[in-house]
Amino acid sequence: MSEDFEPKIIAFCCQYCAYSAADMAGSMRLQYPSNVEIVLIPCTGRFDVILALKALECGADGVYVAGCLEGNCHFLDGNIRAKKRVAYLQNEIKKIGIEPERLAMFNLSASQGPRFAEIVNDFSGVIKGLGPSPTKKKLAA
Amino acid sequence: MIIAERKPIEEIKGFIEGKKKVLLVGCRGCVTVCNAGGTKEVGILASLLRLDAQKEGRELTVDEFTLERQCDPEYIEELLEMVEKKYDAILSMACSVGPQFLTRRYPKEKVYPSLNTCFIGGALAHGIWAEHCQACGNCIIHNFGGMCPISRCSKSLMNGPCGGSSGGVCEISKEVECIWHLIANKVMEENRLDDFAPVQPIKDWSSSRDGGPRKIVREELVK
């Protein structure tokens, strides 16, 4: 893997928690990789597997969904549903030879700005470790 | 409705091996309701196939189209414009009626089934379906408290449970409820146990598959 590989990451963030946490991370001037593109969703219950698939198809190296802490979903169980969808899709992409670690689900509250920055740093590290998405490797070759 | 589930991705990949242009056809009928072959599932499978091709550096175009139903010729006809674009393979995401109708209408095309048609059933909860009918062609559920022992008893017994019924579940699996346990409970609650005294006669299976492939003709509807 090349040292200067900067992964492209798409984060689907719930407006009630992760998105606000990202805002807070910004207000607190916390440093986190700039290669994360945040997509606002009204609840992680809105997250659909096709959204992550399209992101991967369009060149994302990693995708994660960030929702409220379990038991704290504004719509009761949107985050639990999202968790199941992420697990389902991890299994599906594994079958076609894409590392399931490229997809993840995180839970945090709106007040956890530092946790948001930590998640971005950690996930970015995982994706850097995996290298570019295998869907891009062949095309680049 | 007809309950189906998608074939393993490996099997579907095998169908399109070496092919460069594929049409994926969904159905807005039963398989949309059971989340197996509607517009959404077509999108997911198409995306997975494209990702797989990208990963292997293969050239692959997957077009998506969902028909109102694949079990009616007038809707199959709507696919003509797409079929004329010349695909190497057509993957049907309907029950097995769909790919058969597509094959009949477009005999030169290579049509493959992307779903396994499982059973006639209903949703017990979101994401859980169970078999409730075996299409025997002669419904007799009124004799059994409104429950079907043909499809829901592992042995299709008609005169009470077998020795494998224990604690309300079937011996084949703890996940399978003994339908005779449910039938007996319901009939006892309704004080209709006497209705069960007559032995059910041997079922005439000629209306089922035993009479060969079935067909219904309603003259008043035929043009």
For the segment B8-55, what is each residue's pLDDT rounded down to a tens digit?
A: 999 999 999 999 999 999 999 999 999 999 999 999 999 999 999 999
Closest CA to B208 of B140, B146, B153, B143: B140
Task: List pLDDT tens digits, range A87-106.
Answer: 999 999 999 999 999 999 99
pLDDT of residue A137: 64
CB pair distance less than 8 Å for A57 and B47: yes
Query: pLDDT class for B65, splitting at 50, 70, 90?
Result: very high
Average pLDDT over residues B82-101: 96
Mean of the per-residue pLDDT values for chain A? 93
- A100 contacts chain B (CB < 8 A): no
- A94 contacts chain B (CB < 8 A): no
User: Is residue B193's pLDDT more than 90?
Assistant: no
pLDDT of residue A3: 62
Rounded to whole angstroms, how far apart are CA atoms B180 and B133? 15
- Contacts (Cβ under 8 Å, ≥6 apart) of B39: B26, B28, B32, B64, B66
pLDDT of residue A2: 55
User: Is residue A7's pLDDT more than 60?
Assistant: yes
Task: List pLDDT tens digits, range B106-130.
Answer: 999 999 999 999 999 999 999 999 9
CB pair distance less than 8 Å for A138 and B48: no
CB pair distance less than 8 Å for A96 and B40: no
Query: pLDDT class for B195, splitting at 50, 70, 90?
Result: confident
- Contact list in A for residue B36 (CB cut-off 8 A) is none
pLDDT of residue A136: 82
pLDDT of residue A46: 97
Share of chain A above pLDDT 90, in %: 91
CB pair distance less than 8 Å for A57 and B40: no
- Contacts (Cβ under 8 Å, ≥6 apart) of B23: B62, B63, B65, B82, B83, B85, B87, B89, B90, B91
Fold of A9-134: Rossmann fold (3.40.50)
User: Is residue B177's pLDDT more than 60?
Assistant: yes
Query: pLDDT class for B211, splitting at 50, 70, 90?
Result: confident
- B50 contacts chain A (CB < 8 A): yes
Closest CA in chain A for residue B9: A95
User: Is residue A1's pLDDT more than 80?
Assistant: no
User: Is residue A56's pLDDT more than 80?
Assistant: yes
- Contacts (Cβ under 8 Å, ≥6 apart) of B101: B70, B71, B72, B73, B76
Average pLDDT over residues A48-65: 97
B209 or A138: which leads in pLDDT = B209
Average pLDDT over residues A56-76: 96
**CA end-to-end distance (rounded Å), chain A:** 13
pLDDT of residue B197: 74
Average pLDDT over residues A120-130: 96
- A122 contacts chain B (CB < 8 A): no
User: Is residue A124's pLDDT more than 60?
Assistant: yes
- Contacts (Cβ under 8 Å, ≥6 apart) of A11: A18, A36, A37, A38, A39, A63, A64, A65, A66, A120
Tokens 């699996």, located at residue: B173
Task: List pLDDT tens digits, range B120-172.
Answer: 999 999 999 999 999 999 999 998 999 999 999 999 999 999 999 999 999 99
Rounded to whole angstroms, how far apart are CA atoms A49 and A68? 18
Rounded to whole angstroms, how far apart are CA atoms B197 and B188? 13
Which domains are present in chain B?
Answer: 2-118 (3.40.50.2300), 134-197 (no CATH)
Contact B69, B30 (CB under 8 A): no
CB atoms within 10 A of CB B108: 7
Please give the radius of gyration of chain B, using alpha carbons only, rounded to the nearest integer.
22
Strand pairing category for A9-14 and A62-67? parallel
- Contact list in B for residue A139 (CB cut-off 8 A) is 54, 57
